[in-house]
Amino acid sequence: MHAYLTSTGLISPQRTFENDFSCGLQTEGAAILPAIEPDYRGLISPVQLRRMSRILKLGIGAAQLCINNAGGLQPDAIIVGTGLACVNDLEIFLKSIIETGEQSLSSIPFINSLHNTVAAQVARILKIQTYNNTHCHRGASFENALLDALMLLHEKEHKQALVGGIDEFSMHYYNLLPAKVVTGEGAGFFLLSHLPAGKNSVKISAVRTFYAPGEDFIARFLAEQHTPVHQLDAVLLGMNGNPSDDAVYHRLIDNFFPPDTRLITYKHLCGEYHTSSAFALALAAHSIAAGAFPAPAVFKPGKSAKPQKVLLYNHYQNCNHTLMLVTG
């Protein structure tokens, strides 16, 4: 199963909403990386904007950017992956339940507190009443949404799927984290098609999720894709600065990837969050199209050929491990 990338729309802690993937914004020393948001009035009507919480603006803004970048092409499926979804409005709603003794509750935080609110609102705004699904699987949420899209497109009943990964920063959740890492947020949407949009279409060749996998899962994944590890032009690793999380990546760097492998990292640019791999996919797709990765993302330069075969590996708290193979 595979799909072709027609367009992306990304709102992140970098100026990606302007399709600027130079990743030049300095993030060193920051504990929290908030998303840099566009002027939503150019993307969402003021009437609709009025009741939207921040995560809704992030998600719907990114979805609209993606559709605009595709020249207005309409999807026939909307699929979203999210770890915590509209967690801030959920907190407001739960707090008001406690404070008012379940009486006189405002409807707006309730409407904005559901996990599938973003996918539903995107469908309502784009007037798309076909397949609509939201996947919440902690650190593999975005990849599960992608898998859903790949299966839909494989069945050929749908031609275009709009797939998103969204999560917003929550101070409450941040305070509960046992180990503090640079925490971010973002919304990335991708219009996927069963056919290439042009000669240089980036292809999502394979996506796989694992829960607490064994030793050889990357080797087995690459073997299934008939891609020897030395053929990879770059590997994007989800290093987040936490020594115990990063030890997993360092073991692979030392023992699995050839010494000349170009290594790319991205969480110092977008922060850690459940669907940060949506940022990684957008970065990989943009870099394949541009022929190079932005300098701030290069962890180890390795081979210098234009990136064509790129592996994305991420894990969330060493439980949810995910792999994507993206090719030019």
Binding residue (CB under 8 A) for other proteins from 5, 80, 111, 197:
111
Nearest distance, CB of residue 92 and other proteins, angstroms? 13
Q: Of 66-74, 81-89, 101-109, 207-215, which segment contacts other proteins by CB under 8 A?
A: 101-109
Position 107 contacts other proteins (CB under 8 A): yes
Sequence-ordered list of residues with C-beta below 8 angstroms from that of 254, at least 6 positions apart, any chain: none
Report helix, strand or coil for 167: strand
Report helix, strand or coil for 62: helix
Q: For residues 108 and 253, which CB has a smaller minimum distance to other proteins in the complex?
A: 108
Nearest distance, CB of residue 57 and other proteins, angstroms? 12
Q: For residues 98 and 212, which CB has a smaller minimum distance to other proteins in the complex?
A: 98
Q: Are 186 and 11 in contact (CB under 8 A)?
A: yes
Nearest distance, CB of residue 54 and other proteins, angstroms? 12
Size of interface with other proteins, in residues (CB under 8 A): 10
Q: Of 104-112, 124-132, 193-201, 278-286, which segment contacts other proteins by CB under 8 A?
A: 104-112
Binding residue (CB under 8 A) for other proteins from 104, 129, 200, 255:
104
Sequence-ordered list of residues with C-beta below 8 angstroms from that of 324, at least 6 positions apart, any chain: 143, 146, 204, 206, 207, 208, 277, 280, 281, 284, 311, 312
Return d(Cα 139, Cα 144) in angstroms, integer: 10
Position 106 contacts other proteins (CB under 8 A): yes
Give the chain's radius of gyration (CA, Å): 19
Which amino acid, 328?
G
Nearest distance, CB of residue 4 and other proteins, angstroms? 39
- Tokens, residue 146: 């992608």
Q: Of 47-55, 190-198, 203-211, 254-262, which segment contacts other proteins by CB under 8 A?
A: 47-55
Q: Of 46-54, 68-76, 141-149, 285-293, which segment contacts other proteins by CB under 8 A?
A: 46-54
Binding residue (CB under 8 A) for other proteins from 1, 36, 97, 108:
108
The label of the residue with tokens 């030392």 reads: 254
Q: For residues 67 and 111, which CB has a smaller minimum distance to other proteins in the complex?
A: 111
Report helix, strand or coil for 29: coil
Nearest distance, CB of residue 107 and other proteins, angstroms? 5
Start-to-end CA distance of the chain, whole Å, equals 16
Ramachandran class of 249: left when φ > 0, alpha when ψ lies in -120 to 50, beta otherwise: alpha
Return d(Cα 327, Cα 207) in angstroms, integer: 12
Q: For residues 50 and 199, which CB has a smaller minimum distance to other proteins in the complex?
A: 50
Which amino acid, 19?
N
Binding residue (CB under 8 A) for other proteins from 29, 47, 129, 176:
47
Q: Where along the sequence are the contacts to other proteins (CB under 8 A)?
A: 46-47, 50-51, 104-108, 111
